[in-house]
């Protein structure tokens, strides 16, 4: 039981792919901000900055869903997750 935690997080392929997807919001919603800090053009009624943020916020659950599927597909079944 005891060593479960560390073994599990040693990187499996699914985890690696999931991490790449998980990094996307940090790139687009934090580090890209200086590049998108403007009001125009207005897209679908939203000022550009807000439109950009919304796109990536709405995309986040999709990325996480794909990450979930990738982990399921490529990682060994989880010991502690029989439920």
Residue 30 CB, nearest distance to other proteins (Å)? 5
Nearest CB to other proteins, comparing residues 4 and 73: 4
**DSSP secondary structure, 53-75, as one string:** HHHHHHHHHHHHHHHHHHHHHHS
Which residues form the interface with other proteins (CB under 8 A)? Answer: 1-6, 8-9, 18-19, 22, 25-26, 29-31, 33-34, 37-40, 42, 44-47, 49-50, 53-54, 56-58, 60-61, 63-65, 67-68, 71, 78, 80-81, 83
Smallest separation (angstroms) from other proteins to the CB of 71:
8
| Dihedral angle of Cα 49, 52, 58, 62, to the nearest 10 degrees | -150
Q: Taking the complex as a whole, how short is the minimal distance between the CB of residue 12 and other proteins, in angstroms?
A: 13
- Of 28, 24, 11, 33, which Cα lies nearest the Cα of 63? 24
Cβ contact 75:15 at 8 Å: yes
């Amino acid at each position: 039981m005891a060593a479960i935690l560390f073994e599990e997080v040693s990187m499996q392929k699914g985890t690696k792919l999931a991490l790449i997807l998980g990094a996307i919001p940090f790139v687009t919603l934090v580090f890209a901000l200086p590049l998108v800090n403007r009001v125009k053009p207005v897209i679908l009624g939203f000022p550009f900055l807000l439109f950009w943020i919304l796109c990536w916020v709405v995309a986040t659950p999709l990325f996480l869903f794909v990450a979930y599927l990738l982990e399921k597909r490529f990682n060994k079944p989880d010991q502690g997750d029989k439920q």
